[in-house]
């Protein structure tokens, strides 16, 4: 059985303790290192790129987003943001930086393990509110140029169902596809979010006369 290296970056010792306990209980995960600060975290992922990076956004010396950006350059690493609420605000910021999902801090052992496993298998977690946000964000505006990425019909369907509270399995049944396909759709939408962010940045830059 493969084991996956995990690095945890969180300044809260209780969270680190809790996460370590949960992760070490699972044989296929190997928590290689923990870090408290952004700087230490950056150093760690450079030295030994993990399979999964778990990161809190509020670090004492900076934002976890920087760490996620750095990790997104590594080919093997998936980043997950650890959040208390999994709320839209923080998660979307993390997704834009290149995270592929989020974990709830108080998640029960099973949920955390399942979420990380599903991430490794290629399916990112998503919440109703994030789905709604993504739907709004990708809605093609009349003024928008053709180069901005938009969602496919199927991706829109998936997001709509997620936003109404349907679980991945239920969506798969409704759309007559496999659960993995739904996971792939969500991952692709996250990728588009990053592309979309870049396009927006370029457009904004052009508007401001920077480009």
**Rounded Cα distance, 164 and 57, in Å:** 27
- How far lies 75's CA from each of 17, 52, 56, 210, in Å? 28, 11, 21, 31
Minimum CB distance to other proteins smaller for 26 or for 77: 26
If one asks whether residue 128 binds other proteins (CB under 8 A), the answer comes out as yes
**Rounded Cα distance, 195 and 207, in Å:** 18
Among 84, 195, 201, 206, binds other proteins (CB under 8 A): 84
> In a 3-state reduction of DSSP, which class is residue 29?
strand
36-44, 60-68, 163-171, 186-194 -> range binding other proteins (CB under 8 A): 163-171
24-32, 101-109, 142-150, 179-187 -> range binding other proteins (CB under 8 A): 101-109
Q: How far is the CB of 48 from other proteins (least distance, A)?
A: 27
If one asks whether residue 114 binds other proteins (CB under 8 A), the answer comes out as no
**DSSP secondary structure letters along 104-168:** ETT--HHHHHHHHHHHHTT-----HHHHHHHHHHHSPPTT--TTS----HHHHHHHHHHHTT--H
Minimum CB distance to other proteins smaller for 111 or for 150: 111
Helix or strand holding residue 68 (H, E): helix 64-72
Q: How far is the CB of 166 from other proteins (least distance, A)?
A: 6
Enumerate the β-bridge partners of residue 4: 29
Minimum CB distance to other proteins smaller for 12 or for 66: 12
Binding residues for other proteins, rule: CB under 8 A, are 12, 14-15, 17-18, 21, 58, 83-90, 105-106, 108, 111, 127-129, 131-132, 136, 160, 162-167, 170
């Amino acid at each position: 059985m493969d084991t996956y290296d995990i690095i945890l970056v969180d300044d809260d010792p209780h969270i680190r303790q809790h996460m370590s306990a949960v992760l070490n209980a699972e044989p296929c995960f190997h928590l290689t290192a923990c870090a408290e600060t952004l700087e230490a975290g950056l150093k760690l992922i450079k030295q030994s790129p993990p399979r999964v990076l778990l990161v809190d956004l509020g670090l004492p010396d900076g934002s976890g987003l920087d760490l996620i950006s750095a990790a997104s350059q590594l080919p093997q690493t998936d980043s997950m943001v650890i959040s208390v609420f999994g709320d839209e605000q923080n998660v979307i910021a993390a997704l834009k930086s290149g995270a592929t999902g989020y974990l709830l801090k108080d998640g029960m052992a099973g949920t955390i393990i399942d979420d990380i496993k599903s991430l490794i298998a290629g399916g990112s977690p998503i919440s109703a509110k994030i789905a709604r946000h993504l739907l709004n964000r990708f809605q093609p505006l009349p003024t928008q140029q053709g180069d901005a990425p938009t969602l496919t019909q199927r991706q829109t369907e998936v997001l709509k169902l997620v936003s109404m509270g349907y679980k991945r399995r239920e969506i798969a049944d409704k759309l007559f596809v496999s659960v993995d396909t739904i996971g792939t759709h969500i991952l692709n939408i996250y990728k588009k979010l990053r592309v979309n962010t870049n396009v927006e940045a370029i457009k904004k830059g052009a508007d401001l006369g920077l480009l």
